[in-house]
Amino acid sequence: RLSERLTRVASYVEKGSIVADIGSDHAYLPCYLVHQQIADKAVAGEVAKGPYESARKQVRAEQLQDYITVRFANGLQAIESEDHVDTVTIAGMGGPLIASILDQDIDRLKTVNRLILQPNIHAKAIREWALLNDWKLVAEEILQEDDKIYEILVLERGKMTLSPAELLLGPFLMVDRNDVFRKKWQKESAEWKRILEAIRVAELSKEVQMKKEEIEEKLTIVKEV
Ligand code: SAM
């Protein structure tokens, strides 16, 4: 059974898509997408030998070799132009890593019109990347599974503008403000307050002073929302 987290990621893949799942580990997501007849074909990309072998094994075990190509490749280099990939999924990594994977080989996204990204932390880095590269958010989701909180960001081509609050918290998520969202930002705020207190009792260097102001600004944003 697919985890709730990956099931929610899968729910944003449109029927008939050709998907590249980057950082695919066991290829659970592409296997699910093909089995459920959501994706017609898929590529599973992995940069690490162990997870690459697990992905190959899983695809063979499920007899999906005709539909899923597993490639040993760094990031978007797993995508070849003849794949005609229209949807890219990247899940289970930090936001900055996901953004850097997208940035590194951005030309591989030529045929792609939908990105479904699931950062474990720092989703803000993805929103910043999207703003700079003309992708716009069309949906966001926040969920909790096994005591961990995850965000899902769905992007399509287009321009958007985001306020500082929307950049940090997510334009859809901050309107929704569900229980998981509140819990996440209450936890983050508590951590920031702890840092501010530690800074207060320490000697203030210029760098630390700047960090302090940055945290205070974020606290104000979250409090207002
Ligand atoms: N996507 C799966 C999920 O959400 O359950 C696996 C997540 S796992 C924590 C992250 C995987 O991404 C690892 O298997 C790692 O080897 C792979 N990875 C990290 N950086 C990568 C890169 N630049 N290109 C391809 N795979 C990468």
DSSP type of residue 14: P
Q: Is residue 119 within 6 Å of ligand 1 at its C-beta?
A: no
Q: Which residues span the domain enclosing 199? A: 182-224
Report pLDDT digits (tens) over 20-72.
999 999 999 999 999 999 999 999 999 999 999 999 999 999 999 999 999 99
Q: Say which CATH number the domain at 10 has.
A: 3.40.50.150
C-alpha 158: how far from chain center? 18
Centre of ligand 1 from the C-alpha of residue 47, in Å: 7
DSSP type of residue 107: G
Q: Which of 28, 47, 115 to mutate to test the pocket of ligand 1 (most atoms within 8 A of CB)?
A: 47
Which residues make Cβ contacts (< 8 Å) with residue 43, sequence separation at least 6? 19, 20, 21, 30, 68, 69, 70, 71, 78, 79, 83, 85
Q: Are residues 19 and 90 in the same domain?
A: yes
Q: Is residue 104 within 6 Å of ligand 1 at its C-beta?
A: no
Give residue for tokens 């697990």.
54
Count of structural domains within the chain: 2
Q: Are residues 155 and 197 in the same domain?
A: no
Q: Are residues 154 and 194 in the same domain?
A: no
| pLDDT of the residue at 37 | 97
Centre of ligand 1 from the C-alpha of residue 214, in Å: 30
Q: Are residues 62 and 19 in the same domain?
A: yes
Q: Is residue 86 within 6 Å of ligand 1 at its C-beta?
A: no
Q: Are residues 153 and 63 in the same domain?
A: yes
Residue with CA closest to ligand 1 atom 24: 75
Q: Are residues 85 and 195 in the same domain?
A: no
| pLDDT of the residue at 208 | 81
Q: Are residues 121 and 40 in the same domain?
A: yes
For residue 177, being part of any structural domain is answered with no
Q: What is the mean pLDDT of residues 162-171?
A: 98
Q: Are residues 50 and 16 in the same domain?
A: yes
Q: Are residues 106 and 216 in the same domain?
A: no
Contact 112, 88 (CB under 8 A): yes
Q: Which of 39, 41, 115, 113 is nearest to 75 (CA)?
A: 115
| pLDDT of the residue at 211 | 87
The Cα–Cα gap between 155 and 60 comes to 31
The Cα–Cα gap between 187 and 190 comes to 5
Q: Are residues 187 and 79 in the same domain?
A: no
Q: Are residues 97 and 146 in the same domain?
A: yes
Q: Is residue 45 within 6 Å of ligand 1 at its C-beta?
A: yes
Q: Are residues 110 and 15 in the same domain?
A: yes
Q: Is residue 93 within 6 Å of ligand 1 at its C-beta?
A: yes
| pLDDT of the residue at 205 | 76
For residue 172, being part of any structural domain is answered with no
Main-chain phi, psi angles of 94, to 5 degrees? -70, 150
